[in-house]
């Protein structure tokens, strides 16, 4: 790997110019509606400078952060998931013509997209989503096209939220693989590493100096402190057998009495991939649009199979979510489905905390 280089904050416009010059549209973090969102971005001024967050169970709010930093926050409600696997997308449509039907498949779009500010937890989640959408017997053409055009500029987390626990799952706060470029922010700029030939090509356009040993050590020290600052953890990285042995634990009913079955936790989770197929037919029978949209194991239809509701209540639905995420995911993917991003804790309207629930179930 080429040596680490140093990108002063003042040189960020050149990075943006190199990306657009290489044909990439850019998506990056911005402070909007009191949260950090990923949205199209044209210039470094639009990054969330001087922004941090206060976060706890059921609570997330932006607060003032260090003025000279644009990544002094951990993550927003979105991960990479909506960019690669949109909440809703049309797959095909059928039109009645003459005596038959014409089927039109929605062809995948092949665009080049650079995403700035991807966190280590979201890279780990992306790896799981890749396995689900690309590595099975049938690769998903829409996901594959978007994935092929994706350039990932990761930013190592120096300001984890109070809800983060990626250090305990082994997925953060430092991005170790699956990125094209990785940045670690300091007060005056970034220590920069390339992780792929595409990333190296972009960095080569910037003519950056090598990072000094002091800059590299400062970055490493911030990451060590970030990992040490995380207080939450799961009881173990493999809860498969212990959770599956507790399917009748009274805690399932206790959590069901608080849980609203709203599905926020599955919507913000970067590894959840369940979706439903939707058919919208015109009343006159001339046309039908077939789409897919995100589904949630907390919804009615998820457990409805051939006339029978398999998970009639919140207790069964919460148990399905937690035991899939932390237990049977090991059978599917050889690891837990949780990358420690903490989103489900912050965006649960009643503050249900996956780390607390797992610990209570193991008692």
Say whether residue 263 binds ligand SF4 (CB under 6 A).
yes
Nearest distance from C-beta of residue 190 to ligand SF4, angstroms: 25
Q: Applying CB under 6 A, does 74 fall inside the site for ligand SF4?
A: no
Of 280, 269, 303, 335, the residue nearest 82 (C-alpha): 269
**Nearer Cβ to ligand SF4 (236/282):** 236
Binding letters toward ligand SF4, positions 335-354, x by CB under 6 A:
---xxxxxxx---xxx-x-x
The answer to the question of residue 73 lying near ligand SF4 (CB under 6 A) is: no
In whole angstroms, how close is the CB of 168 to ligand SF4 at the nearest point?
A: 11
Nearer to ligand SF4, 19 or 339 (CB): 339
Q: Sketch the per residue contact string, 235 through 254, with ligand SF4: x for CB under 6 A, - otherwise.
A: --------------------
User: How many residues in the shown chain lie near ligand SF4 by CB under 6 A?
Assistant: 25
Q: Which is nearer to ligand SF4, 19 or 259 (CB)?
A: 259
CA dihedral for 17, 19, 21, 25, sign (positive or negative): negative
User: Nearer to ligand SF4 by C-beta: 26 or 352?
Assistant: 352
Could you say whether residue 269 binds ligand SF4 (CB under 6 A)? yes
Q: Does residue 343 contact residue 77 with C-beta atoms inside 8 Å?
A: yes
Q: Report the residue from 259, 327, 358, 361 that binds ligand SF4 according to the rule CB under 6 A.
A: 259
Rounded Cα distance, 93 and 54, in Å: 45
The Cα 61–Cα 59 span in angstroms is 7
Which CB, 113 or 338, lies closer to ligand SF4?
A: 338
Cβ nearer to ligand SF4, comparing 215 with 264: 264
Q: Which of 103, 260, 276, 310 binds ligand SF4 (CB under 6 A)?
A: 260
**Is the backbone peptide bond immediately before 173 cis, with ω within 30 degrees of 0?**
yes
Give the 3-state DSSP-derived string for the chain, with helices as H, strands as E and coil as C.
Answer: CCCCEEEEHHHHHHHHHHHHHCCCEEEEEEEECCEEEEEECCCHHHCCCCEEEEEECCEEEEEECCCCCCCCCCCCCCCCHHHHCCCEEEEEEEEEECCEEEEEECCCCCCCEEEEEECHHHHHHHHHHHHHHHCCCCCCHHHHHHHHCEEEEEECCCCCCCCCCHHHHCCCCCCCCCCCEEEEECCCEEEEEECCHHHHHHHHCCCCEECCHHHHHHHHHHHHHHHHHCCCCCCCCCCHHHHHCCCCCCHHHHHHHHCCCCCHHHHHCCCCCCEEEEEEECCCCCEEEEEEEECCCCCCHHHEECCEECCCCHHHHHHHHHHHHHHHHHHHHCCCCCCCCCHHHHCCCCCCCHHHHHHHHHC
265 makes contact with ligand SF4 (CB under 6 A): yes
Rounded to whole angstroms, how far apart are CA atoms 133 and 84?
A: 10
Nearer to ligand SF4, 156 or 194 (CB): 156
Rule CB under 6 A: choose which of 271, 292, 319, 335 binds ligand SF4.
271
Nearer to ligand SF4, 129 or 264 (CB): 264
User: In the stretch 308-327, what mask flags binding to ligand SF4 with x, by CB under 6 A?
Assistant: -----------------x--
Which of 298, 311, 353, 358 contacts ligand SF4 by CB under 6 A?
298
Question: Does position 261 bind ligand SF4 by CB under 6 A?
Answer: yes
Of 135-143, 179-187, 258-266, 304-312, the window that binds ligand SF4 (rule: CB under 6 A) is 258-266
Specify the stretch interacting with ligand SF4 by CB under 6 A; choose among 3-11, 36-44, 84-92, 263-271.
263-271
Q: Work out how close the CB of 58 gets to ligand SF4 at its nearest, in angstroms, rounded to a whole number.
A: 8
Q: Which residues bind ligand SF4 (CB under 6 A)?
A: 259-265, 268-271, 298, 325, 338-344, 348-350, 352, 354
């Amino acid at each position: 790997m080429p040596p680490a280089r140093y990108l002063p904050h003042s040189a960020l416009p050149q990075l943006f110019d190199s990306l657009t010059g290489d044909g990439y549209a850019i998506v990056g973090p911005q402070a909007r509606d009191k949260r950090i969102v990923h949205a199209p971005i044209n210039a470094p001024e639009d990054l969330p400078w001087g922004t941090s967050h206060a976060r706890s169970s059921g609570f997330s709010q932006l607060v003032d952060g260090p003025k000279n930093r644009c990544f002094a926050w951990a993550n927003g409600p979105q991960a990479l998931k909506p960019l690669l696997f949109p909440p809703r997308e049309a797959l095909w449509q059928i039109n009645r013509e003459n005596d038959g039907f014409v089927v039109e498949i929605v062809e995948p779009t092949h665009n080049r997209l650079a995403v700035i500010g991807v966190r280590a937890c979201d890279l780990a989640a992306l790896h799981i989503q890749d396995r689900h959408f690309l590595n099975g017997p049938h690769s998903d053409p829409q996901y594959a096209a978007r994935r092929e055009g994706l350039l990932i500029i990761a930013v190592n987390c120096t300001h984890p939220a109070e809800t983060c626990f990626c250090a305990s799952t082994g997925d953060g706060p430092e991005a170790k693989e699956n990125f094209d470029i990785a940045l670690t922010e300091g007060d005056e700029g970034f220590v920069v590493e390339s992780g792929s030939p595409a990333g190296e090509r972009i960095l080569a356009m910037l003519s950056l100096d090598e990072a000094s040993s002091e800059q590299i050590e400062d970055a490493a020290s911030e990451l060590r402190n970030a990992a040490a600052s995380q207080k939450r953890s799961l009881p173990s990285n493999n809860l498969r057998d212990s959770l599956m042995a507790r399917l009748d634990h009274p805690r399932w009913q206790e959590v069901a009495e608080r849980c609203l079955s709203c599905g926020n936790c599955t919507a913000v989770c970067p590894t959840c991939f369940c979706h439903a197929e939707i058919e919208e037919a015109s009343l006159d029978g001339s046309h039908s649009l077939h789409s897919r949209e995100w589904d949630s194991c907390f919804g009615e239809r998820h457990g409805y199979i051939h006339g029978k509701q398999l998970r009639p209540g919140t207790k069964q639905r919460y148990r399905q979510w937690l035991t899939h995420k932390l237990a049977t995911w090991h059978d599917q993917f050889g690891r837990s489905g949780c990358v420690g991003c903490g989103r489900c804790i912050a965006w649960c309207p009643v503050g249900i905390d996956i780390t607390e629930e797992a610990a209570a179930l193991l008692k």
